[in-house]
Amino acid sequence: MRTLDGVGVTPLSGVGTAAWYGERAALPEPPDPAEIDPEAERERLENARNVARTELERERERVEAAVGPEEAEIFEAHVQFLDDPQITGGVEDAIGEGLPAEHAVERAFGAGIEQFEGMEGRMAERADDLRDVRDRLVRALTDGDRDALATLPEDTVILAERLTPSDTARLDPERVAGFATALGGRTSHAAIFARAIGLPAVVGVGDALDEVEAGTNVGIDGGAGEVLVEPDDETGDRLAGGRAVAVRHGPVSTADGTDIEVAANVGRLAELDGAREAGTDGVGLLRTEFLFLDRDAPPDEDEQYETYTRLLSAFEGRVVVRTLDIGGDKPIPYFDQPEETNPFLGERGVRRSLGPDDELFETQLRALLRAGAAAGNLSVMFPLVATVGELDAALDAVERVADDLASEGVEHAVPELGMMIETPASVFSAPELAARVDFLSIGTNDLAQYTMAASRENERVADLHDPRHPPVLRAIRRTVAAGHEAGVWVGICGEMAGDPALTELLVGLGLDELSMSAVTIPDVKAAVENTDRERARDLAERALAAATKDDVIRALDGEL
């Protein structure tokens, strides 16, 4: 048995027969430029772009249904690449020089791919998006076939230099035991899709992966970040179990008896079964945006009521519903959303609910209060609240809706109400905010972005967008202290919550609830049970006293 190290992207394991997913065939040498009719090539190119658009729309719809709307947004970015003037201009120039359309695409996209590969972090991974679009166009121009990734034999382990978003989206978790790639990182789209569909995966293995031959028995340990070549029987049996950690149904406590709620982030109805199977205690973040996507008009009150009621009935534990959060990176076409220089600092979240979308906000609140009467496990929270005035206005809206429903004789109930802590402003106002609500939920993705002045979308500052920076940890601790002083529970629903390596720290910081992608729930529950609260508090104090992120990491590793 040989062990190859890489980057694990899911806490899942699998074992199966290796199959290499090879590079596409190279194009033949182009004909003499004198034989090329540029107008005919431009027409071929436009036809290929139309085919690619149609394919991307189908791919987006399929991925949205199978994985979720946020993951499917990558295909919108691919459409933008089709129309990017920097790229299309290069293709036009190459055709003008006498290249056939497919060779022109190859050259123009190759320049963009090379440029992205020269960058660092997530920007380097954008090269895979360009490859995806390039290959799609070349296939359309040459009538090429795609490898049948979706119809592989059962228990196949895919090995590849890299997988594009389209490649990964076509893998069937029922047939594929996992995949390993020589290149890629934890934030690549292949990694994101693997987590979303619950597929064991290890990326960034390097050149050592080339030595693994097709037909070899291979194990994938996504938790440890290991590819095991010809695993022995004991290791193979362990990996075939799918998880190194058993699923725990029911509540969990720390080693010294402190209850910690471990819940799921849910962004679509299709995620319900996976969340229950992973042992979730409930839903810590229900993103309602899925109800408003891929349609020409917003859902009416009755449609929303039926959906919320169905969601509530699927869980015995608490279900925290976030009111509509659009703007920033969540545009919806039929909304009148302004062009903003920096949409993350603009009109988004509760700002729209109290402004241009106030009627829609009222409709959503009516549906939620009606659903609250049908099930007693509903909680509602407001996104991106920055001021006490905004929270008061949102709470007043709930009161008005309740009064209206009462006057109409409509059965309803005012649920537990809370808000998200996502900005430094809300952290500094946490005592006043906590005094007005039943709970606070910390969104660490945005909190890190705003605290560190580092955009989530800008890969050049990706290192700053990390919740392990001391200022972010101190913001979390300050929020927890304010919430507990006011007698309300405090949860966390950002990506930080789903990292079992940070569970002890979060318990030490005093969080009452952790909400995450369903795939990581068993590992976090196991981490909670292995945590001693006193030791966790000591760890938190060392991390809070750290001067740098590296010092925090050393504290987590037990070096400080």
The residues that are catalytic are: 189, 493
Round to whole Å and give the CA distance between 180 and 7.
Answer: 9
Range list of H helices, 294-337: 301-313
Taking the CA atoms of residue 86, residue 92, residue 96 and residue 98 in that order, the dihedral angle to the nearest 10 degrees is: 110
Which of 515, 119, 73, 516 lies closest to 328 in space, CA to CA?
A: 73
Round to whole Å and give the CA distance between 540 and 506.
Answer: 8
Round to whole Å and give the CA distance between 126 and 353.
Answer: 33
Count CA atoms closer than 13 A to 288's CA, side-chain side.
27
Round to whole Å and give the CA distance between 244 and 527.
Answer: 13
CA separation (Å) from 450 to 202, 427, 432, 465, 509?
31, 11, 20, 9, 20
Q: Tell me if 380 sits within 8 A of 364, measured CB to CB.
A: no
Q: Tell me if 338 sits within 8 A of 347, measured CB to CB.
A: yes
Torsion sign (Cα): 235, 239, 245, 250: negative
For helices 533-545 and 470-485, angle between their N-to-C axes, nearest 10 degrees? 130
Pairing of strands 416-421, 439-442: parallel
Which of 260, 258, 218, 262 lies closest to 240 in space, CA to CA?
A: 218
Contacts of 445 (CB under 8 A, 6+ apart): 456, 494, 495
Range list of H helices, 314-421: 350-353, 358-374, 388-407
Round to whole Å and give the CA distance between 510 and 258.
Answer: 10
Count CA atoms closer than 13 A to 259's CA, side-chain side.
7
Q: Tell me if 508 sits within 8 A of 539, measured CB to CB.
A: yes
**Joined tokens for residue 226:** 């290991």
